Each structure stands twice: as C-alpha cells, then as structure tokens.
Amino acid sequence: MPRFQIHPSFNHMPLLYVVFALWGLFFAIQVPALEALFADSIPQGKRAYPITIRYVLTTVATIVGPCICVVLFQVEGDSWNLWELQLVLMVGMSLGIPPLFLLFFFNDDLAYENSIKTAVVAPKETQPLVALEASSSASNMESEHNTFLWFGPRHVPYLLFTSDFIICNGAGLSINFFPVFFQHDYNMTPSQVNLLWVAQPLLVVVLSLVCHRCATSGFMRCSEPLRTSLLMDY
C-alpha cells in the first residue's frame, strides 16, 4: 500500500513561520479572555482547587498529541524526514480547529462574579455612610497587615507577571531545543522523543496534585495552579 507523500513544492518554511505567528496571536487573544471567564465563574478565594483540576485535565490532554504523533510516525516512517514532520504538523494543527467553535457558546453574563455584582448593587446603595466608613477602615487595616517590605496586594499581579515572563523566556530558550538535543546526542527517533512528551505530562500531573496538597497544608506556595488562583483573586 503506497504511503501518503507531501509534494516537495509544499516545503515552504516562511509559510510555517506565518502560520505559527497567527497561531500565537490567537492564543494571545483567546487565553486571557478564557482565563478571565473561568475566574469569574468561581467564587473568590475558592479558585485554587478548581484551577488545579483544570490544570491537571489540560496537562493530561497534552498526552493525546504525542500519542497521535507516535502513531503517525509509525505509519509514515519513524525518521527525521521533513515530509513526515510536515504531515504530523498539519494533522496536529487541524485537530485544534474544532475546539475553536466551542468558544462561541460561552456567555459572560452567566458568570458567577457578574451575577454577584448585579445582586449586591442595590443593598450597597441603601447602606448608611457609617457602614461604608467602617468597611473602608477595615480594608485599610487589612491592606496594612497584608504587606511584605514595600510590596502590597496591588503589586501581586505585577510580581506574578514578572516571574512568569522570566520563566517563559527561559523555557522558550531551552525546551524548544530538546528534540534537537535528543536527536543529535542520543540518536533518538521521533517516536521516542514523543514518548518522552507522553511521560512528562504524567509526571507534571502527579507533582501538581502533590504541590496542591502541600500548599493547603502550608509547606509550599509555588505551584502553578496556586499562582494562577492568586493572580485571579487580586
């Protein structure tokens, strides 16, 4: 049975650069809006556990991609061939199209935070001035105690953004070159590299659950779901 072959004229690397740029632009627009809607759907202060569950499910879902890549490489040939790599790339990007249509079914008006805001507007308007002054003084006292050095609650989003920016830049300068490292130094096939990407999310899932359990017991405060929960609460 003849194998499917991509025509050599399709080898246009600049086109791939444009596609990846558009793909990154889509994620830059879609992810913040989806994260905000997810945060508004959960009561403030109770977001750590749901975010951990979502992070675990998302990480487990990333196993499907490498598994499909292993099957495609076994069918088309388990070698570092440009045509086979392009086939796997096109199949992977085409699988990302159907979930895009699900984004049209989200409704911001049904979010939990939006319903709470509309429900408490009237009672707040009828409260006396003394209650407003008491709540204001209480919030000021809380903000004074909830500080570290010259950093306060208003600095939390900026600190998390700076930390994530540094980590993502470091990851972009290292993780993207792992397949090249495995190919040249260990002579691993594409299927073997994808099997590593299958094992890595499984380890991340286990460690995320452990980190969440440790965080709730007060021994650790640096898991990714907890960081996301802090950013949403502030």
Nearest to 52 by CA among 161, 206, 156, 166: 206
DSSP 11: -
Nearest to 96 by CA among 70, 61, 124: 61
DSSP 62: T
pLDDT of 132 strictly over 50: no
Domain coordinates of the chain in residue numbers? 44-64+152-234
- pLDDT of 41-61, one tens digit each? 777 777 778 887 887 788 777
Name 54's bridge partners: none
DSSP 4: P
- pLDDT of 142-188, one tens digit each? 455 566 667 777 777 788 778 878 877 777 667 767 777 888 888 88
Ranges 59-63, 174-178, 189-193, 202-206, most confident: 189-193
pLDDT of 124 strictly over 60: no
Q: Which amino acid, residue 213?
A: R
Q: Token match 């805001």: residue?
A: 117
Q: Are 230 and 39 a contacting pair, CB within 8 Å?
A: no
Name 151's bridge partners: 148
Q: Are 159 and 27 a contacting pair, CB within 8 Å?
A: no
Q: Token match 């308007």: residue?
A: 125
The confidence band for 234, taking pLDDT boundaries of 50, 70 and 90, is low
Separation of CA 218 from chain center: 24
> Long-range contacts of range 7-15, CB-CB < 8 Å, 24 or more positions apart?
8/83, 10/86, 11/82, 11/83, 11/86
